[in-house]
Amino acid sequence: MKKIIFVTAASLVMLSGCSQVQEWSEDLFGQKQQESQEKEPNVQAPDNGQDEQAVPEQPEETVPEELQLESRYFNDVKEVDGKQVIQNPANLLALVNKEYALDEYKPADLVRPNVPFVFGNQELEKAHLRKEAAEQLEKMFADAKAKGVFLTAISGYRSYEYQKMLLEREIAQFGEEKAVMAVAPPGQSEHQSGLAMDISSESNQFQVNIEFAETKEGKWLAENAYKYGFILRYPEDKVSVTQYQYEPWHYRYVGMDAAKVIHENDWTLEEYFKNVKKI
């Protein structure tokens, strides 16, 4: 038993300083044997079969099913020339913004939706969307028309090269600082994903502007687009999040499940990914 006391004494010397050395030395030579024996039961840890330091396990937080998202829907990125380039661009939930860019990707399933375009029947690249998004756009336009709301498609898919031309033109006209708030650099435009469509109406002279938000068509879209899998991508009160100005005409397809969650929580796509759990 003294061996046990010796180990404990050494520990006390390290923790409490040299003032404990003399007292414990006397105890070890038997001059305070009785006191030692009285204290001895408290030296040994109680044998209760449990680790005194064990921390009870905390129950795992339950994440609602609608906030659980498969890992394949998250960006898989690789740094290329200082940019975070998306390696899975065909992902329907690809987060394309000023942080995550596409390379010269072109979707393989682009089709022309059967909806009214501002340029009529001309065969232009911007008259296309990815197949799933195009089908849902058709349903949305048809349902709107049935309610007396007449929508017009303005611009869908844009290639990397076309986006580059748009930005250069905007810089020449308004300067770089204003241009980059309105026009995405090539590779950082959602239009290149084939999942975004600019929408306007005859009542708004087919313009893409802030005034569209106050038209009957703009209001209907803001209230109903999520039912078809589309979200208002750049809301007025989320400029600090999206890093783009308010665009009441720009709608992005994300699928009906994600669109419902985003709409109900008043989130942007960036905020959606901050709140969902990867599974």
Under a CB-based contact definition with an 8 Å cutoff, are residues 197 and 155 in contact? yes
Identify the active-site residue in 247, 264, 270, 271: 247
Q: CA angle, corner 259, sides to 139 and 86, nearest 5?
A: 105
Tokens linked to 131: 């197949």
Q: How far apart are CA 247 and CA 213, in angstroms?
A: 9
Residue 100: name the closest of 167, 188, 193 by CA: 188
Under a CB-based contact definition with an 8 Å cutoff, are residues 219 and 208 in contact? no
For the question of residue 247 being annotated catalytic, the response is: yes
How do strand 129-130 and strand 110-111 relate by DSSP bridges? antiparallel
Under a CB-based contact definition with an 8 Å cutoff, are residues 232 and 245 in contact? no
* C-beta atoms surrounding 247 within 10 Å: 20
Query: Hey, which residues are catalytic here?
Result: 247
